[in-house]
Structure 1
């Protein structure tokens, strides 16, 4: 009797695991650009079907000097669960990560 219950439960588990996934809620990439600028930097952007967008560009500052640093500037936006589109503009450089957005508290 226990072996019959085990076999039934095993078949039930296999059936659940073999069921096709509903990927209708998985965002698809609808645009993507990527440009390697060599050792001087890069830039890329993408947009997904759920409304997420990101773009970023990096440049190397003070090339060959003691204070050489990479500077990355970009924007990301997404649609929140509350239906509001949130956007962050940011700069990341030798002074750290510096985000700005209407929803981010200001000092």
Structure 2
């Protein structure tokens, strides 16, 4: 389940950043443990992402994955967009200057 969430978040970030040309990974780090993980990467087009997650005990026999991270990318308009987020039992909660507040 953890692996699926990690790849889903990574895929979402890469889709949002969709570069006009192929980018190469210039830096990548990851660490996976029994109850936590973290990773980060940067690509040649300026896209960056970092994320860490831990298993949170919600009560007897109930656990949830708690994830926090950020990503940034350069949009077609040349502006850098940055998003920070938390994803836990309350859902995905992104924050960024360009994201409307409800």
TM-score normalised by the shorter chain: which range applies?
0.7 to 0.9
| Max Rg structure | 1
TM-score, structure 1 length as denominator? Answer: 0.72
TM-score, structure 2 length as denominator? Answer: 0.76
2-side partners of 1:105 and 1:53: how far apart? 22
- Cα deviation, residue 65, structure 1: 2.7
More helix by share: 1
SS in structure 1 of the partner of residue 62 of structure 2? coil
SS in structure 2 of the partner of residue 62 of structure 1? strand
Q: Deviations over 1:5-37 (max 9, x none)?
A: xxxxxxxxxxxxxxxxxxxx3100000001002
Change (3 A) 1:30 1:58: same
SS in structure 2 of the partner of residue 72 of structure 1? strand
Change (3 A) 1:63 1:95: closer
Q: Which moved more, 1:59-68 or 1:49-58?
A: 59-68
Structure 2 unaligned residues grouped into runs of 5+: 1-20
- Residue from 77, 80, 87 that aligns with 1:82: 77
- Cα deviation, residue 41, structure 1: 1.5
How many residue pairs were aligned? 82
Structure with greater contact order relative to length (CA < 8 Å, sep ≥ 6):
2
